[in-house]
Structure 1
């Protein structure tokens, strides 16, 4: 088993290799935090195409997030059904919007900008159906806070590389402790790119992988 320092050295090396392979990806323009929250909930257990279709259907049907909050759960579930688990996701979205309004008096997450990363993460994680990935996406992409979202693809890659323990939280903590905050987003995007091109779920192209020297599965 690798020591903590060995793991951190490995993470830094992986970050460098991916940067050489894919370049330094700029942080995308900040997104509205409610948009990010809802979109990430919709992305759970589905592919990007269906998630996008569900989100587009939602914003076509409702003018405001208040309208979504006031919509009957069954109606919302039908609108987003193409993304799968419509009833579950509708309940999660409505519960999240309700929690936000309960705290702020309106459906607006901008108050998270003034909170510490830890407090903002805690607030989001207390919402039903919001896990590490969803909360970190909101904080990273909407507020540029030093968080590292671990989605299914990144979790798969990191497990193959022997990074962290058995949870997404452990992997996120290791990377956040090791990589500078201004590089976390680029590292996240490069890992996703690598997962799409090389380290796929099935039949990964291990012989073409720039990380094979670091990989438990290859070695």
Structure 2
């Protein structure tokens, strides 16, 4: 996850005797390599990293397009679980829950190895609108918007949907700027804008 990263394995740790099979190894290798190198990375690199035969790729995913789409689905599930845990860790106050999520999103952009949002990167790199990956990225953005909207409605924001859209735009912009301009530091500016979007409506018209 917006975090959009899920760099650590999305699979539970297994002992060598019960290690992940070809399907899981393909997903794990694709998750790491497409984040670091982009979805345009060749299948030979993925197969080599996963130590899996090409036949297994077609057997489990039907080809690279299916593998990329399923990888995005699994990372989306892991990212959304992480975001919900962050919200819950902040307690029941919707304002504090939102601020905790904002802090996570903006602070993560400074992590070493940050490459931006994997979902945005996939959308930009795959021009065919029929590619199955786009359905997964669309669901990711919709779920993020729903998370924000739920908290804003609980906060009593009079224009919750509009605020959710604006907040999502700020977060996405901060992630893009940090990824495309390594020297930029958008986190502080984004955090201020996000707090304004959450709090300014309480002050009424100027």
Query: Same fold, TM exceeding 0.5?
Result: no
TM-score by length of 2: 0.26
TM-score by length of 1: 0.25
